[in-house]
């Protein structure tokens, strides 16, 4: 089976390497800047054009920044769709607006090309070690056929429903993460200003109902003043933009998400777009005139 992979950025490049190592050696790769494709060619892939990938590959995957880029690569003037044919499968692993996923799927259905939307969670470390979590939307039969391919890049591959369900699930994940980070920052601000050691508060509550992966991972960063990115503010803003756009389309009320977005936007306005999303705590530090834990 010939696999085409487009988008070899921080996530895409290691994901493509894992496909090569996972039993799919016929890998054709493309990137807007040629360097990453050339590096993968040295590892056994074929640096190809979009036309070559569209015409020759059985399965085509994309890992791109957002909806406009995915639409341009697939449906634009030089888009891959014009070269594709019946029987192929397209898997978009980007995190985009589910409304856009459905639009692309509808366009591809006209040429009898099946599609899965399959965004991932886990960031660069899990992309490197092949333990990403995939949230997938699309037909059950297509999902079943493509699951072994996705498992070369991830340890968890879950079908969430029909097309668009994968990205809807990813947006739900990003809403919970953002609002949880904001709640942790707010709680630690209260502790600091009330004269209680935030680290002691975290240790006391982490085993109870307030305990969470976010608390365990992000509270220590807030207390240490560590804002080195595991997941950048700019990327979380992109995801919440998509969540709010989708919500406006379907009429879903997301007031907490909108508030979290304002906090993230304020940090970016202060030059913090490249900081880790745990830097939401810095918004509270600025308002309160404190440093959490310091």
pLDDT at 122: 87
List the one residue out of 27, 23, 21 whose CA is nearest residue 4: 27
Give the helix, strand, coil percentages of the chain, each rounded to 5.
55, 15, 30
Average pLDDT over residues 10-14: 94
Q: Where are the beta strands (DSSP E) in the chain?
A: 3-6, 27-30, 46-47, 59-62, 89-92, 114-117, 120-121, 132-137, 154-161
CATH number at residue 282: 1.10.1040.10
Shared-domain flag, residues 37 and 152: yes
End of a domain among 130, 163, 196?
163
pLDDT at 150: 98
Average pLDDT over residues 275-291: 97
Shared-domain flag, residues 172 and 250: yes
pLDDT at 54: 97
Average pLDDT over residues 265-273: 97
In a domain, 294, yes or no: no
List the one residue out of 237, 200, 234, 195 whose CA is nearest residue 220: 200
CATH number at residue 95: 3.40.50.720
- Give dist(CA 69, CA 199) in Å, integer: 42
Shared-domain flag, residues 33 and 133: yes
Shared-domain flag, residues 39 and 26: yes
Which pLDDT tens digit goes with each residue over 15-33?
Answer: 999 999 999 999 999 999 9
Shared-domain flag, residues 137 and 175: no
For residues 42 and 99, the answer to whether their CB atoms sit within 8 Å is no
Shared-domain flag, residues 39 and 153: yes
In a domain, 256, yes or no: yes
- Give dist(CA 239, CA 90) in Å, integer: 22
b or e along 1-12 (b: 16 or more beta carbons within 10 Å of the residue's beta carbon)? ebbbbbbbbebb
In a domain, 243, yes or no: yes
End of a domain among 113, 131, 163?
163
pLDDT at 168: 97
Shared-domain flag, residues 9 and 155: yes
pLDDT at 154: 97
List the one residue out of 122, 146, 135 whose CA is nearest residue 96: 135
List the one residue out of 87, 94, 36 whose CA is nearest residue 62: 94
Residue 56 banded pLDDT, cuts 50, 70, 90: very high
Residue 4 banded pLDDT, cuts 50, 70, 90: very high
Shared-domain flag, residues 182 and 99: no
Shared-domain flag, residues 151 and 15: yes
Residue 283 banded pLDDT, cuts 50, 70, 90: very high
- Give dist(CA 155, CA 76) in Å, integer: 33
Shared-domain flag, residues 121 and 206: no
**Statement: residue 281 has pLDDT above 90:** yes
Q: In the chain, how many domains are there?
A: 2
Query: What is the chain's mean pLDDT, rounded?
Result: 96
In a domain, 82, yes or no: yes
Residues 6+ apart with CB under 8 A from 277: 177, 178, 181, 218, 231, 232, 233, 236, 264
In a domain, 262, yes or no: yes
pLDDT at 42: 94
Count helices and strands (H / E) in the chain. Answer: 13, 9
Which pLDDT tens digit goes with each residue over 128-159?
Answer: 999 999 999 999 999 999 999 999 999 999 99
In a domain, 293, yes or no: no
- Say how far residue 168 (Cα) sits from the centre of its chain: 12
**Statement: residue 125 has pLDDT above 90:** no
Which pLDDT tens digit goes with each residue over 105-120?
Answer: 999 999 999 999 999 9
End of a domain among 100, 131, 163?
163
In a domain, 123, yes or no: yes
In a domain, 217, yes or no: yes
pLDDT at 230: 84
Which pLDDT tens digit goes with each residue over 175-227?
Answer: 999 999 999 999 999 999 999 999 999 999 999 999 999 999 999 999 999 99
Shared-domain flag, residues 221 and 132: no
pLDDT at 204: 98
The domain containing residue 272 runs over which residues? 168-288
Least confident span in 72-76, 158-162, 197-201, 229-233: 229-233
Shared-domain flag, residues 157 and 173: no
What are the catalytic residues? 170
């Amino acid at each position: 089976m010939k696999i085409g992979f487009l988008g070899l950025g921080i996530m895409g490049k290691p994901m493509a390497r894992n496909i090569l190592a996972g039993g799919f050696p016929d890998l054709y790769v493309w990137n807007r800047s040629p360097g990453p494709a050339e590096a993968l060619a040295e590892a056994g892939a074929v640096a190809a054009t979009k036309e070559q990938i569209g015409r020759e590959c059985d399965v085509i995957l994309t890992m791109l920044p957002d909806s406009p880029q995915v639409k341009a690569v697939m449906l634009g003037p030089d888009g891959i769709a014009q070269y594709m044919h019946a029987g192929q499968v397209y898997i978009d692993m980007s995190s985009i607006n589910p409304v856009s996923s459905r639009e692309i799927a509808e366009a591809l259905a006209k040429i009898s090309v099946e599609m899965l939307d399959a965004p991932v969670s886990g960031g660069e470390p899990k992309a490197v070690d092949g333990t990403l979590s995939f949230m997938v939307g699309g037909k059950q039969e297509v999902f079943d056929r493509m699951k072994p391919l996705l498992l070369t890049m991830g340890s968890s591959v879950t079908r969430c429903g029909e097309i668009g369900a994968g990205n809807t699930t990813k947006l739900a994940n990003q809403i919970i993460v953002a609002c949880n980070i904001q709640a942790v920052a707010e709680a630690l601000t209260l502790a600091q200003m009330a004269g209680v050691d935030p680290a002691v508060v975290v240790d006391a509550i982490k085993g109870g109902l307030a305990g969470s992966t976010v608390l365990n991972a992000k509270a220590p960063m807030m207390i240490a003043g560590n804002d080195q990115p595991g997941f950048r503010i700019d990327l979380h803003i992109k995801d919440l933009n998509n969540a709010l756009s989708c919500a406006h389309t379907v009429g879903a009320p997301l007031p907490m998400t909108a508030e979290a977005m304002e906090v993230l936007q304020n940090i970016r306005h202060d030059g913090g777009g490249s900081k880790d999303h745990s830097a939401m705590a810095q918004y509270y530090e600025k308002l309160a005139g404190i440093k959490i834990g310091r």
